[in-house]
A and B are shown apart, each in its own frame.
Chain A
Amino acid sequence: MEALTALQITIGIFTQLIPVWVAMGIILSISAYYRQRLGLYGHLFDSRVGTLGLLLVLFWVLTAILADLIITHDPLAQISGMKNKGIGFPVRGVEGTFYLLGGDNLARDIFSRVVMGCRTVLTIAPAATVFAFMVGITLGLPAGYRSGKLDTILSFLSNLVLAFPVILLFFLLVTPEIRSTGVPIYLAAVLFVFPIILFVVLFQSRFYTQPVKRNIYVAITLVLGFWAYSGLAFNMDPLGVFYMEPNLLNIFVAVVFVNSPTVFRIVRGLTLDIKTRDYVAAAETRGEGPWYIMLWEILPNARGPLIVDFCLRIGYITILLGTLGFFGLGVSPESPDWGMTINEGRKLLSIYPHLAIPPALALMSLVLGLNLLADGLREQSLKD
Chain B
Amino acid sequence: MWIFIVKRTGMMVLTALCLTFLVFFLTNLQPNLEKLAKTQGSMRMSDVQVEQWLESRGYKQPLLVRYGEWLGVTPGFVFVREDGKTLGRCVKPGVDLIANYCGVLQADMGWSTVFKDNVASIVSKRLGLTGWLMLFVMLVMVPMALIIGVLAGMREGSRTDRNLSTFAILTTATPEYVSGVIFVVIFASSAVGLRWFKGSSTSAMDEITIANFTLPVMTMAFYGMGYIARMTRASMAEVMTAQYIRTARLKGVSFSNIVLKHALRNALIAPFTVIMLQIPWLLTGVVIVETLFNYKGFGWLLVQAASNNDIDLLLACSMVAVFVVLITQLISDIGYVFLNPRIRIN
Contact = CB atoms under 8 A, between A and B. Distances in A.
Contacts of B166: 49, 372
B330 to A, nearest CB: 12
A339 B288 CA distance: 12
Nearest to B182: A360
A367 interface: yes
Contacts of B18: 160
Given A165-B325, A167-B302, A346-B292, A183 B178 contact: no
A103 interface: no
Contact of B306 (A163, A172, A326): A172
B115 to A, nearest CB: 17
Interface stretch (A119-127, A212-220, A225-233, A347-355): A347-355
B190 interface: yes
A323 B306 contact: no
Contacts of B174: 364, 367-368
Interface string A175-189: 101101101000000
Contact of A177 (B29, B284, B287, B314): B29
A349 B199 contact: yes
Contacts of A164: 19, 22, 318, 322
A209 B66 CA distance: 56
B325 A363 contact: no
B318 A165 contact: yes
Interface in A359-384: 360-361, 363-364, 367-368, 370-372, 375
A360 B26 CA distance: 32
Interface string B2-38: 0000000000000100110011001101111001000
Given A167-B283, A350-B188, A353-B192, A367 B173 contact: yes
A343 B292 CA distance: 9
B185 interface: yes
B289 to A, nearest CB: 11
Nearest to A353: B185
Contact of B318 (A168, A180, A319): A168
Nearest to B287: A167
A358 B184 CA distance: 14
Contacts, number: 138
A323 B31 contact: no
Nearest to B286: A167
B259 interface: no
Given A368-B170, A371-B173, A350 B190 contact: yes
A133 to B, nearest CB: 21
A315 interface: yes
B280 A342 contact: no
Contacts of A49: 162, 165-166, 169
A171 interface: yes
Interface in B169-210: 169-170, 172-175, 177-178, 180-182, 184-185, 188-193, 199
Contacts of A356: 181, 185
Nearest to B226: A371
A193 interface: no
A79 to B, nearest CB: 23
A159 interface: yes
Interface residues of A, number: 47
Contacts of A175: 32
B306 A171 contact: yes
Given A167-B283, A167-B284, A339-B177, A350 B189 contact: yes
Given A172-B23, A181-B31, A323-B288, A352 B325 contact: no
Given A353-B192, A371-B169, A165 B280 contact: yes
A5 to B, nearest CB: 16
A342 B177 contact: yes
A183 B317 contact: no
A349 B178 CA distance: 12
B181 A346 contact: yes
A118 B19 CA distance: 35
A180 B31 contact: yes
A234 B309 CA distance: 27
A350 B183 CA distance: 11
A49 B15 CA distance: 41
A166 interface: yes
Interface in B280-299: 280, 283-284, 287-288, 291-292
A368 B322 contact: no
B218 interface: no
A345 B169 contact: no
A178 B321 contact: no
A357 B284 contact: no
Contact of A372 (B169, B181, B284, B318): B169
B145 interface: no
B269 interface: no
Given A163-B19, A353-B185, A168 B317 contact: yes
A107 interface: no
B152 interface: no
Nearest to B307: A171
Contact of A360 (B170, B178, B188): B178
B30 A357 contact: no
A327 interface: yes
B303 interface: yes
Question: Lowest 8 A-B CB distances belong to which pairs?
Answer: A171-B306, A368-B173, A177-B31, A367-B173, A353-B185, A165-B321, A360-B178, A167-B284
20 contacts: A48-B162, A49-B166, A167-B283, A168-B302, A171-B303, A177-B309, A178-B29, A322-B178, A326-B288, A342-B181, A350-B190, A350-B199, A353-B185, A353-B191, A353-B193, A360-B178, A360-B182, A364-B178, A371-B172, A372-B166
Given A323-B288, A349-B185, A375-B165, 14 more contacts: A49-B165, A49-B169, A163-B325, A165-B283, A172-B26, A172-B27, A177-B32, A315-B173, A322-B175, A326-B291, A350-B191, A363-B175, A367-B174, A371-B172
